[in-house]
Amino acid sequence: MAFKKNMDSSDKENALLCSEAVFRSVFDSNFKLLRNFLVFKFKSIDRAEDTAQNAFVVLWENCGKLQPEQAASFLFTTAIRLSLNLIRHDKIVINFGLQLKPKEAHGETPEFLLEESELQRQLEKAIQDLPEKQRTVFLMNRLENQSYPEIASLLDLSVKAVEKRMHLALVSLRKVIKNV
Nearer to another protein, 31 or 66 (CB): 31
Nearer to another protein, 5 or 178 (CB): 178
Residues that bind another protein (CB under 8 A): 24, 27-28, 31-32, 35-36, 39-40, 45, 49, 52-54, 56-57, 60-61, 97-101, 116, 119-120, 123-124, 139, 141-143, 147-148, 160, 162-164, 166-167, 170-171, 173-178
Nearest distance in Å: CB 119, another protein: 6
Closest CA to 161 of 139, 128, 133, 135: 133
Nearer to another protein, 7 or 30 (CB): 30
In this structure, are residues 86 and 67 in contact, taking their beta carbons and an 8 Å threshold? no
Backbone angles phi, psi at 156, to 5 degrees: 60, 50
